[in-house]
Chain A
Amino acid sequence: MRVLCTFSPVCEAMMGVDFWRRLQQSRAMPHDHPDHDHPHSLLPSDPALRVKALETILTQKGLVDPAALDEIIDTYENRIGPRNGAQVVARAWADPAFKAALLKDADPVLADLGFYGRQGEHMVVVENTDTLHNMVVCTLCSCYPWPLLGIPPGWYKSDAYRARAVREPRKVLAEFGVTLPAECAVRVWDSTAEIRYLVLPQRPPGTDGWDEAALMDLVSRDSMIGCGLAVTP
């Protein structure tokens, strides 16, 4: 008998029949939240308490090392972020051979710089020009090139961005203060597979002869998602 889930065929596809048997056996009393049929509803409803409870259980079982969690957080708070991508963009602006190789086959070029890893296994770099503006979204979840840009910003993961970037990219760009000329087409890349996209923004005018370190400061995170332009000095 499966009485717990309004989605039972789906849950069965996801979880298997054994799951339902175990869940039924584990609870003597009927569930009192008819809208919450998945195991997660057994955790506290407050999200901070949910996370704490899960971490406690997993640590007690020996499945999670809290020090490893600290290390993961430190990695994405302090070591892996959009300055990595900015370094790549600045070098592409400064070095035509590097740029050509990057646009042709990004993975080996990025691996040479040490920018490889989780959520950046298959990179494609797309170049903005006077007549083409590239913009990246993941309408189905939140796919994003972590090794180059870090953890995606809140707006990238928001329903508004996921829903609208494909249908009205120019209106979305306007909300970032960007207005494109009529002769410039927009290409929105919806990251539906494991390919991760980085936008190579246009080099701002007035930067001839600048070195890579100076150029890097002009490269915003948003410009590498295609929701901004590089800063014009």
Chain B
Amino acid sequence: MTRPHDMGGRFGDGAVVPEAEDIIFHADWHPRALALTLACGSLGLWNIDVSRHAREALAPKDYARFAYYEKWIAALADMLVETGALTAAELESAQGQGSSDLAEKRLTASNVAAVLAKGSPADRTNATPPRFGPGDSVRLRAMAENTTVNGGHTRLPAYAAGAVGRIVRLHGTHVLPDSNAHRLGEAPEPLYAVALQAADIWAHPEHPRDEVILDLWDSYLSPA
């Protein structure tokens, strides 16, 4: 089974509503929620995979009813308590008790530009050679689930699970989210762009030549 974030292919969501380029946020609290999340990331208490999983692990009811940045804020609060940076009592009282030991890691205004510019690359040097090359046929794992942690994070969408595709690109060796999201190590693996024919994943493909391409790690794939 999957989680509510895994919605690729789902029916019933209605029209996509285009938007002017100069609309960046839709409410005053949206940019604040974004900035709080980014600033707290600098405390070094979690990685991007942990934070993605925190959003995905919201109750399905909350995931569905929360606006985009509400998910961010909810996950942020959960992670801050999980890591001990804040206590549940502090959240409940809306008052911080005393200064944190982590305060020295606080992101300052003067460091923002450098931190955003530095990014957080996910590629790693790794001796494991890629098993597949462009043109190779591969079968995607049948289950869109984390194979180590029950209910854990994975980046294999349900709509693609079990399909046969072909490698179109090698991306190098990248941190494995399925491991990193659970603080089990980065476990880097070769990462590939894999093309699936629309006709192989949808009962009613729009066009015989259309494709969906996903970025998938070596352990998601087997030779086909």
A: which residues have CB within 8 A of B? 6-7, 9-11, 13-16, 18-19, 22-23, 26-27, 35-40, 42-44, 47-48, 50-65, 67-73, 75-77, 80-82, 116-122, 124, 137, 139-142, 150-151, 153-155, 157-164, 166-172, 175-176, 182, 185-195, 220-222, 227
Contacts and interface: CB of A to CB of B under 8 A. Distances in A.
Contacts of B206: 168-171, 186
B210 A122 contact: no
B32 A51 contact: yes
Interface residues of B, number: 121
B191 to A, nearest CB: 6
Given A59-B96, A142-B68, A193 B19 contact: no
A153 B19 contact: yes
B158 to A, nearest CB: 9
Most buried by B among A7, A39, A52: A39
Given A76-B24, A163-B7, A47 B35 contact: no
B16 A161 contact: yes
Interface of B: 5-11, 13-19, 21, 23-29, 31-36, 38-40, 43, 48, 52-59, 61-62, 66-70, 73-78, 80-82, 84-92, 94-100, 102-103, 106-109, 111-113, 115-123, 149-152, 155-157, 159-160, 169, 171, 174-175, 177, 182, 191, 193, 195, 202, 206-207, 209-217
Given A35-B59, A68-B108, A140 B6 contact: yes
Contacts of B80: 39, 54, 58
B211 A186 contact: yes
Nearest to A189: B213
Contacts of A35: 59, 61
A75 B34 CA distance: 12
5 contacts: A51-B36, A154-B19, A167-B159, A190-B157, A195-B215
Contacts of B160: 190
B39 A192 contact: no
A11 B26 contact: no
Given A10-B151, A64-B39, A158-B17, A166 B159 contact: yes
A58 B151 CA distance: 30
Contact of B59 (A37, A44, A195, A227): A37
Nearest to A159: B13
A186 to B, nearest CB: 5
A65 B215 CA distance: 36
B62 A141 contact: no
Contacts of B175: 194
Nearest to B85: A63
B40 A58 contact: yes
B16 A140 contact: no
A72 B38 contact: yes
Contacts of B96: 56-61
A40 B118 contact: no
Closest 10 CB pairs of A and B: A60-B96, A62-B103, A139-B8, A193-B215, A40-B74, A185-B209, A194-B122, A69-B35, A163-B10, A40-B77
Contacts of B215: 190-193, 195
B116 A118 contact: yes
